[in-house]
Structure 1
Amino acid sequence: MKTIVVCDDVEIERLLLKEILCQYFEEINEEVSIVEYDSGETLIADVEEGYIAMDLLFLDICMKKLNGMETARKLRQIQCKVPIIFLTASPDYAIESYEVQASGYLLKSFSEEKLMKLLNRILKTDMKRRVAIKNRRQYRYPCTDDIMYIDSDKHNVTLHLSDGSEIITVDKLGEIEKRINEKRFLRCHQSYLVNMDYIKDVEDDFIMEDGTLVPIRVRGRKEILDTYYDYFVNHFGDSKDTFAE
């Protein structure tokens, strides 16, 4: 289980970030504990006393009394090496953040997509999910990130990977869908499961990044297109937010 700390003196900002973090860890099927602090002083005291051990810290810079930058400095002084992502409404502290070895710098209000990309970069050693697929007499273990779409034809199910390779299995498509268990995988047809990250466009069918056409079933078509639209807006929608890496 990951322990994520959010330190921000504005309650609504903590709640909004917590909601996105819960969604992220739910999608990658990872347990998470999110701990909230409303001041740097309390956080430092708990770290010094050994009450909290964290895997990642989101730290607001503009807080009353002890600001986020000073909080980070004090944490480093007591040998707290946790990765820190600064949250701020101003880019003015970006250069200063390198002094405390910050792992990221997010400008409020940041997009969900940018937060998730930053989480993937920082936690990538642990976060790449894989799925076991029986292939003949052995098992293959592809990363779910690399699966573009899956199709079923008669007794065979084929996983189409982003590098152009394929894995053929006799597993049922529905069983694989349950094992993957990620919201980005959409059952758009009785015989197709598509990774929405790889959809390039939509016409009569989904057009994948490699040009493949993945059919959309007639029954329930509107709901399928609405699901993809909501996913697209949440993950790829335009935003002026930026963060320093």
Structure 2
Amino acid sequence: MVTVGICDDEKQQRTMLRRIAESYFQLLGQEYRVEEYEDGECLLRKVQQDPYGTDIIFLDIQMSGMDGVETARRIRHFSREAVLIFVTGYEDYVFHGYEVGALNYIVKPYAREKITLVLDEAVKRLEMDCQRCLPVQQGSCLSKVPVREIRYLCSQLRKIVLYTVNGQLEFYGKLGEVQKQLPGCFVRTHQRYVVNLAYADEVRPNQVLIGKDSIPVSKKYSQELSGAFARFLLQQ
């Protein structure tokens, strides 16, 4: 299922965009859900609670309260994966999209053809992201775990415990070798731990907080981890 978020402080604009998006996914035969947000604060709260819960976000740049650009910057602190599409009445604002990795932009009044093309791009991006998986061998069974669902990894003797958004998974392997198969947001914090910075709520000198879990940080990796986390936030 694809979840689409539409953030605009004008109800009429949200409704128009919702109808076009719903028509698009119905013709595509794709399961979907459309959620509306009347301001950036509401959207940001949702993303904080569930960083991977919204796949595509249409974000109006000019809104009362927190504007779309600032909302996008804050979203990127919690979600690298969400596909951002700016909505604006003025093309002068388009350059802001490069700062936050926006996929594209649409200009009001909405043109169905333009939105369809942008949604085509967004769906392709999502398909590419979904294909990024970590192969896991358990006995004679080989399974694939979506990288975006991995929160952190822990080495226990000859086994690795994978902590994902859906629970735990154990398999034999070496932590260093597994880390090489993962993107740069996966960083070593300890001889036995690797964390996905996309899920890190707070990085401290001796621990990383991921939800209710506290992952230890050794002196050996502390400085490197702090630098990686700072760069990660700047890239969002």
TM-score by length of 1: 0.49
State how far apart, in whole Å, the 2-side matches of 1:120 and 1:217 are.
Answer: 40
- What is the CA-CA distance between 1:151 and the residue it aligns to? 0.4
Unmatched 5+ stretches in structure 2: 1-84, 95-105
State how far apart, in whole Å, the 2-side matches of 1:141 and 1:179 are.
Answer: 12
State how far apart, in whole Å, the 1-side matches of 2:111 and 2:173 are.
Answer: 49
- 2:151 is the alignment partner of 1:138: no
Q: CA RMSD in A?
A: 3.0
* Secondary structure at the counterpart of residue 123 of structure 1: helix
User: After TM superposition, where is structure 1 displaced by more than 3 Å over at least 4 residues in a row?
Assistant: 84-88, 119-122
- 2:107 is the alignment partner of 1:94: yes
- Greater strand share, 1 or 2? 2
Sequence identity percentage: 16
Structure 2 matches for 1:1-245, cutoff 5 A?
Answer: 88-90=91-93, 94-102=107-115, 123-128=125-130, 129-163=132-166, 165-180=167-182, 182-203=183-204, 204-209=206-211, 211-235=212-236
Is contact 1:86–1:102 with CA below 8 Å preserved after alignment?
no
- What is the CA-CA distance between 1:231 and the residue it aligns to? 0.6
- What is the CA-CA distance between 1:136 and the residue it aligns to? 2.5
State how far apart, in whole Å, the 2-side matches of 1:183 and 1:155 are.
Answer: 24
* Secondary structure at the counterpart of residue 173 of structure 2: coil
- What is the CA-CA distance between 1:121 and the residue it aligns to? 5.6
May I ask how many residue pairs the two structures share in their alignment?
A: 137
Q: Larger radius of gyration, structure 1 or 2?
A: 1
State how far apart, in whole Å, the 2-side matches of 1:154 and 1:174 are.
Answer: 13
- What is the CA-CA distance between 1:135 and the residue it aligns to? 1.4
State how far apart, in whole Å, the 2-side matches of 1:220 and 1:96 are.
Answer: 51
TM-score by length of 2: 0.51
Deviation string, structure 1 residues 138-176 (Cα, Å, up to 9, x no partner): 11211000000000011111100012x111011111111
- What is the CA-CA distance between 1:223 and the residue it aligns to? 2.1
Equivalent residue letter for 2:115: A
